[in-house]
Structure 1
Amino acid sequence: MKVIFYSLTGNVRRFIKKSNYSNAQDLYEVQNKIIDSPFIIMTSTIGFGQVPDDVMHFLELNHANLRGVIASGNRNWGQNFAKSGDIIASQFHVPLLMKYELHGNADDVTKFLSIMEKVAIQNENFDREKVQSY
């Protein structure tokens, strides 16, 4: 499953690099393009729990293939920790797959890789069910 990530401060980029996840692409590389395959959005949270404008603009154009969201944040913000994930999940009716702090730790990376494996299997099964008619 493709991951499109946004990293304002570099934390999300460091997380992706640490995970060695090979199917990740920086949002800036695809910012004004249509993504015609399923993807997960991975983003930081800015301000007091907001979704970055660049992420919202991208999702307005590409939400049809959005399958889930992963959000980064800082626990110092309390209830607004990684709130961008909650907002995207609610607005675009997709699951919030994970929240992690800053650039994540080894357990977060393990959890991320496990989630991505499960999402890929689920999407593969979903596509197969669409093709097969009963």
Structure 2
Amino acid sequence: MRIAFYSMTGNVRRFIKGSRLETQYELYEITEANKNDKFPGPFVLVTSTYGFGGVPGAVESFLEVNHTGLVAVASSGNRNWGSNFAKAGEHIQEQYRVPLLMKFELHGTDKDRESFKEKVGSFHESIGREEVQSY
């Protein structure tokens, strides 16, 4: 399992680093330089929200190339935007028909990071069972 993330202002990067996942999962930061590169799945995407609830352009480009490996999404935002809070995650959930793991504000809290680790761990276990189990 891999975790791809995009951080526009540094909040998502801080959330990912604070989650201390680098020993368990491959972490991949989406940038303008690599947004069109092929990234092998399966992966969970963590993204910030742009403007009034939009998906950042770099993330849209990344998903055009890599959407087949996407298994879930989480998004960051600011509650000051009301109903548009972390809305990028909802847009990606709807477009690619994947679960929205969670929304968190800015760089998240310790509780948010623990919740994220548990949810990613559950997806990782499920994917591992699917790969081993024969039908």
Give the AA of the match of 1:34: K
Alpha-carbon separation, structure 2, partners of 1:65 and 1:110: 24
Gaps of 5+ in 2: none
- TM-score, reference length from structure 1: 0.93
1:45 aligns to 2:12 (yes or no): no
Match of 2:78 in 1: 74
More helix by share: 1
Matches within 5 A, 1:18-33: 18-22=18-22, 23-28=26-31, 30-33=34-37
Q: Percent identity?
A: 45
CA RMSD of aligned residues (A): 1.1
| 1:34 alignment partner, one of 35, 38, 61 | 38
Pairs aligned (count):
131
The farther-off stretch of 27-36 and 2-11 is: 27-36
Gaps of 5+ in 1: none
- TM-score, reference length from structure 2: 0.92
Give the AA of the match of 1:25: Y
Alpha-carbon separation, structure 1, partners of 2:11 and 2:42: 24
1:56 aligns to 2:60 (yes or no): yes
Deviation at 1:39, TM superposition (A): 0.4
Match of 2:14 in 1: 14
Match of 1:107 in 2: 111
